[in-house]
Structure 1
Amino acid sequence: MRTLLNLIWVIFGGFWLALGYFLAGIIACIFIITIPVGVASFRMARYVLWPFGKSVVPKPGAGAGSAIMNAIWFVIAGWWLALIHLAAALAQTLTIIGIANAWVSIKMIPVTCFPFGKRIVDSGGIL
């Protein structure tokens, strides 16, 4: 079931969302100081490409460094990636099959804005 949902997700917007994260990662890696932001963007691109069967959980021990990196992330990439998720969700609601994908896209916005201090893990359930 996860594979089918992921394939539908990739076809109806997941590929383009993942491409946005990938491009953000490339831009962030151009500047030496923002390489950690680029690495986080590449990690998020993998999650956004194939989200079903994955969960985002808080990382134990994340502290002030994560908060600082989240602020940098939000300024560099988070806000416009969140806007892309909103646009994708609006487009996905135009079809009945896309409504579930729109919900997933909306649920990704908090981790899109503030990814540091979080881990992406296998959820182990059906979805």
Structure 2
Amino acid sequence: MRILGNIIWFFMAGWILAILTYLSGLILTILVVTAPVGLGLMEYGKFLFLPFTHDMVRKNKGSITDAVHMTYQTYANIVKVIYIIVFGIWLFIGGIFTVIGQFITIIGIPCAIVLAKSLGTIFNPVDKVCISHDLAEELRRRVAAAKADEISGVQQSAAAESLQNCEYDVMPQKLSVVTIVATVCSMVLVLLAAAVVLPRVNLLATREDAEISKLTTNLMTAEIDIRTYNMGYGKFSSDLSAMTNVPLISNGVNSAYLMGANIYKCFVISLDAKKKTITIEKGPDAENKICKGASENHYGAEILSRSPISVESF
């Protein structure tokens, strides 16, 4: 049955996932900094080639005593925490939903079994190794025998005592129902929070874009209105607001602020009657997001680059 499972897995393109996983692990290992994760993914890639005749198990940390190994293990733990927070938990949650979905389709059950067996590795590939299923079962049998001897008070056999220095921790990494439920609930809460927050963020961005567009239009309109007024009357009015329908806030004689979102002084419009020029400059609130957006877009930047603008060239 295991061989049949491997054949089905192969024809369902499992070998492609195996190759991609192995190559990803190889690249991360070559980068050195991410080697603890890379080595685990390479082992996971080996597992994915023949998942029904192999198991993913943990390295037995208890057998590591060398100072160099201890230093590496400390670094590996740091990398592991970063990986779990940034990738592991999300891949784990995605794996759970994928397993559920594949089981529902019936035809995807072989893939679901493989993913279910390796959820622990997906969550944390650091210190994981691929061994044959038969070896893992034999080691588990010896562990069970040793525990039985301990409970019954019988002296441990030599085979059981040898497990103390075994390189592999073969005990299954079981996922409790509570863990799965808690993970799914956390994911649901995150999605609900995103559903509430993201529309508000998008609405805020949309409002800002609308204000930037409105401000740019007002800037262009004010310039054209003032130039048209001068052309029609042969002079500027002492009141800038009398020359345009665009709302302006007075800034003294022959000068006014063009407001953004009705509260930000984004631009200063000044007139020189003798030179017959219109000077448009950035206002006191130029670094505001709306003001900056209007001054940096195509039309706003073009008007600022032409300032001072001669009305005679209209």
TM-score normalised by length of structure 1: 0.69
More strand by share: 2
Establish whether residue 71 from structure 1 lines up as the match of residue 71 from structure 2.
no
SS at match of 1:56: strand
Unaligned runs of 5+ in 2: 63-72, 138-314
Q: Give the structure 2 partner of residue 14 of structure 1.
A: 14
Establish whether residue 53 from structure 1 lines up as the match of residue 56 from structure 2.
no
1:34-86: per-residue Cα shift (whole Å, max 9, x none)? 23432322111111221112223332226645432422443676456546745
SS at match of 2:55: strand
Structure-2 change in CA distance of 1:19 and 1:77 (3 Å): farther
Unaligned runs of 5+ in 1: none
Q: Give the structure 2 partner of residue 110 of structure 1.
A: 120
Q: Give the structure 1 partner of residue 33 of structure 2.
A: 33
**Percentage identity across paired residues of the two chains:** 29
TM-score normalised by length of structure 2: 0.33
Residue type matched to 1:18 in 2? A
Structure-2 change in CA distance of 1:42 and 1:57 (3 Å): closer
Structure-2 change in CA distance of 1:29 and 1:58 (3 Å): closer
CA RMSD in angstroms, aligned pairs only: 3.3
The ranges of structure 1 where at least 4 consecutive aligned residues each deviate by more than 6 angstroms after the TM superposition are none
Structure-2 change in CA distance of 1:120 and 1:114 (3 Å): same
**C-alpha contact (below 8 Å) 2:56/2:118 kept by paired residues:** no
Residue type matched to 1:116 in 2? V
Q: Which moved more, 1:24-33 or 1:46-55?
A: 24-33
Instruction: Tell me which of the two structures has the higher relative contact order, counting C-alpha pairs closer than 8 angstroms and 6 or more residues apart.
Output: 1
